[in-house]
Amino acid sequence: MKSQIENLRRELEQHNYDYYVKSAPTITDFEFDTKLKQLQELEAQHPEFFDPNSPTQRVGSDIASGFEQVAHVHPMLSLGNTYSLGEVQDFYERVRKGLNEDFELVCELKYDGTSISLTYEDGLLVRAVTRGDGEKGDDVTANVKTIRSIPLRLKGNYPASFEIRGEILMPWAVFDELNREREEQEEQLFANPRNAASGTLKLQNSSVVASRKLDAYFYYMLGENLPSDLHSENLKAAHSWGFKISDATKVCKTLAEVADFINYWDVERKNLPVATDGIVLKVNSLGQQKNLGYTAKSPRWAIAYKFQAEKAVTRLNSVSYQVGRTGAVTPVANLDPVQLSGTTVKRASLHNADIIAALDLHIADMVFVEKGGEIIPKITAVDKEARFLIGDKVQFIKNCPECGAALVRFDGEAAHYCPNENACPPQIKGKMEHFVSRKAMNIDGLGAETINLLYQNELLRNIADIYALKIPDLIRLERLGTKSAYNIQAGCEKSKEIPFERVVFALGIRFVGETIAKKLAFAFKNIEALENATFDELITVDEIGERIAQSVVAYFADSQNIETLERLKTFGLQMSLSEEKLQAHGNALSGLSIVISGTFSQHSRDEYKTMIERNGGKNVGSVSAKTSFILAGENMGPEKLKKAEKLGVKLLTETEFLTMIMD
């Protein structure tokens, strides 16, 4: 019986591969379903032969469960974007100068889905993790197993352990059908296939995920024993193991070949069954990729060329105004519905008063609408020749549409702001929504609707009030039951373990994003030191400029913010770096400004940047009289070398640097 079950599994795995990866089925759907049902019955009769990677497991389960957060072994960084062939040439020149040797580029389609990282051990899928914040993501293995084009068991000669990354997609046909069904049920429609794929992957019910018919393409492999030093050869190997690799992949030796690839797919992509928004260019050699290294946010060896957005013409009916959590007021154009890039567009951002003035907008104007990156609709121009019986000229409002406060505009900024941050409802609620969000305090059960409900019932007025919520007060509210109330309380308690750097981010200080919050936390170590930091002290921190420093000083100068912080302290939030993180940072480079130049053999540029930061040093990009020394690798930039010699700046080799921080 065991051999019969295993034979059926192998046969169904092959049919899955033929249908979903090769697009060349050899049996009918009815025959496949009959064999699958037979296997399900045999497995039910013989549970001792259960296999988590059996084809029967692709149907999913209706048992709901939360997602575990998993740290990425290698950070999942985003790519830098270009929008013209001139910028592609600039990238090519940067790579050429950085390597100072011949190189190849691999051109691939940039699929517009949700990123995924799969880990395989001994040929079996053991983990699937979303991109998350780039450092950690959700373990969605159960849901990913329902995607038929993803192999659960590999074939051929594969490494014992490796990671492969790709894009999970919802095909256009599936997306259209899903939205049609949702429209019939009077449910909110998905804006685009990418949002639909991302939302589907996060569903708690994997049987529903299975019904959504997601697809996946893979584009990069990581591991110790990969088949080749060439990215293109690794993709071919992955295809032989059972992965779906795009046929639209080409190794290019010249810029002309890259341009031909881009021009061809800018037209042909419209015939593809899934959404794409550009081309990805990667240096083919993994060794050369390592030498080029990374910036703080993206690899230097890869870049994304974004296709020009599609345009449409429609009528402007009115302009409304939205107030964000920072008080920024965004004008929104309300339009006659129009089809654009596969979706229906009814609204578009007008960004700010300068944009409105430059467009010379009038109500009833016929306007050109496009999607920036084919996601966010925006008005780019007015068809002035089509003007007939137009209405009033659009003038930016002078008072906040929510609280009536007079709007302000700061020097050097395009946006108007409502200054009434402690009494303007959208700002108050927005700050709370930011505070409880996943990348901040990650408090379950407090979404936008619940926060609005609690605000309307005067249970929330600032972020500290979240920790003062009482179970009886929550239970009595409409739409909130006992289970929800206890979930909120549990989420609040768990959030008290969130590390200090995320607490700094959660505070919602203007201009302080995740990266800046982390740099502030590690520079000042605790909330008291950060609160007392002067403007001059703040701007010495890496990546902290005048605008951010002024914002931090202004935040801690507000008595209401200080009162809120004191309350948060009493509730037990983490207000200093953990001992573990304090010990992980030395001071061998304290107060030193260091430039990195050239290519290295022992570590990548990014690894050296991290070492510098962890030992109290500051990474700087250009050589000056204030530079303490240059960490110099092979092929150091001639201009930096010349300037270093002129200024008498010392050069350290890799070995000298590593010895320095280890002493």
**Helices and strands (H and E) in the chain: how many:** 25, 21
pLDDT of 324 reads 85
Model pLDDT for residues 609-661, shown as the tens digit of each residue: 778 877 878 777 778 888 899 998 877 777 778 888 888 889 988 888 888 88
pLDDT, position 453: 92
- pLDDT, one tens digit per residue, over 162-220 is 999 999 999 988 988 887 776 555 456 676 788 888 888 888 777 778 888 899 999 99
For residue 11, the 8-state DSSP code is: H
Q: What is the DSSP letter of 649?
A: -
Q: Are the beta carbons of 107 and 250 closer than 8 angstroms?
A: yes
Q: Would you say 338 and 312 are in contact if contact means Cβ atoms under 8 Å apart?
A: yes
pLDDT of res. 593: 85
> Which among 183-187, 293-297, 515-519 has the top mean pLDDT?
515-519
Confidence of residue 457 (pLDDT cuts 50, 70, 90): very high
- Tell whether the model's pLDDT for residue 581 goes beyond 60: yes
User: Which pLDDT tens digit goes with each residue over 26-83?
Assistant: 776 567 767 777 887 888 787 777 787 787 766 544 333 457 888 888 888 888 888 8
Rounded average pLDDT over 402-418: 89
Tell me, what amino acid is at 594? I
Q: Provide the percentage of residues in the chain whose pLDDT is more than 90.
A: 48
pLDDT of residue 556: 96
Residue 66's pLDDT is 57
The residue among 521, 653, 516 whose CA lies nearest residue 597 is 653
The per-residue pLDDT for 64 is 36
In the chain, the domains with their CATH numbers are 2-59 (1.10.287.610), 81-306 (3.30.470.30), 311-386 (2.40.50.140), 425-495 (1.10.150.20), 500-582 (1.10.150.20), 593-662 (3.40.50.10190)
Residue with the larger pLDDT of the pair 295 and 337? 337
Give me the pLDDT at residue 277, please: 85
pLDDT > 70 fraction of the chain, expressed in percent and rounded: 92
Closest CA to 574 of 505, 507, 527, 529: 527
pTM over 0.85, yes/no:
no
The tens digit of pLDDT for each residue in 96-147 reads 999 999 999 999 999 988 999 999 999 999 999 998 878 888 889 989 999 9
The one catalytic residue in 2, 22, 35, 110 is 110
* pLDDT, position 343: 72
For residue 236, indicate whether it is catalytic.
no
The tens digit of pLDDT for each residue in 474-514 reads 998 877 888 889 999 999 999 999 999 999 999 999 888 88
* SS3 of residue 559 by DSSP: helix
- Mapping DSSP to helix (H, G, I), strand (E, B) and coil, where does residue 74 land? coil
CA 300, 257, 243: angle at the middle one, nearest 5? Answer: 65
DSSP 133: T
